[in-house]
Amino acid sequence: MSVIVTGASGKLGRVVAESLMERLPPAELVLVSRHPEALREFAARGADVRYGDFNEPGSLGEAFAGGGRMLLISTDAIGRRVPQHRAAIDAAVAAGVGHVVYTSHPNPVAGNPIGPIAEEHGETERMLHDSGIRWTVLRFGSFAELQVQPAALAIAAGRLVSNAGDGRIAPVSRRDCADAAAMVLTTDGHGGRTYEITGPEALSPRDLAAVFSDVSGRAVKVVPIGDRMLVMGLVLHGASRPIARAVAEFGRAVREGYFDLVDPAFETLTGRPPMSLREVLIPRRGDLLEVA
């Protein structure tokens, strides 16, 4: 029985595919994507690359055929993810997939300031619980790689503008998330489990500024700002209002503690500690400095 990865041509999906290639014979790996041509190198290495589109439920039966376990990587279509994920779960059940592993989000609960993002993840978790299929949920913390752009801007300006107050996040690398997913997909005993996959430490804006300074060799100070002022400033600097609001909502969620979680699940699953934010940023030092 094969292991299926949906969204396999995305940033996370490709890293998961690489991690699984280290653990499985290539012929046992099924990579599903709307853009299978983007996975030619995996096909050349023996993986089974298939077309599948959550917006075209009729394409999913063939895409999931013969699968024993499946990683359902959440889509990025905010506002449309629930029907997309429902189509994928229904198709997995119909195809006889035995176990679905879903990439969720910290605190996918009502009241989380990130709104639809949390609500859609929470609804997908509920759909999985009610599907009758064996399931595992991986709640990935904020990706450490998402700190590269704000770090570069902060380093260039010498200041980190933040509405997060003293709230903290525990950034986790995509590679660590991929390795956690690969471990769950290739070992037993994970049915009905929810794992919080986080980085090794929770960092406040002041901590983040210290990491940015350490990596770049340039001083970065924190400039606290309110939600409304942050939105106005981002719009004045060219961001669309929806993007500006999303950034402010994320900062508010951090401020209110929705991301303040460090969990040992990653090390328990893999036998090694997760990478720190500093370890993720050091190889990208050139990217951090090129904005200056």
Q: Specify if 183 maps to a domain.
A: no
Q: What is the pTM of this model?
A: 0.95
Q: What is the CATH number of the domain that holds 154?
A: 3.90.25.10
Contact 237, 150 (CB under 8 A): no
- CA–CA dist 88, 7 (Å, integer): 11
Together in a domain, 131 and 150: no
Together in a domain, 119 and 19: yes
Together in a domain, 160 and 253: yes
The C-alpha R_g of the chain, in whole angstroms, comes to 20
- CA–CA dist 176, 275 (Å, integer): 7
Report which DSSP code applies to 239.
Answer: -
Together in a domain, 283 and 156: yes
Structural domain count of the chain:
2
Q: Specify if 289 maps to a domain.
A: yes
- CA–CA dist 85, 68 (Å, integer): 18
pLDDT digits (tens, 9 = 90+) for 277-288: 999 999 999 989
pLDDT at 48: 98
The low-confidence residues of the chain, meaning pLDDT below 70, are 1, 291-292
- Closest-CA residue to 281 (of 173, 140, 169, 168): 173
Q: Specify if 177 maps to a domain.
A: no
pLDDT at 291: 61
Range of the domain at 103: 2-140
For residue 48, report the phi and psi dihedrals to the nearest 5 degrees. Answer: -90, 105
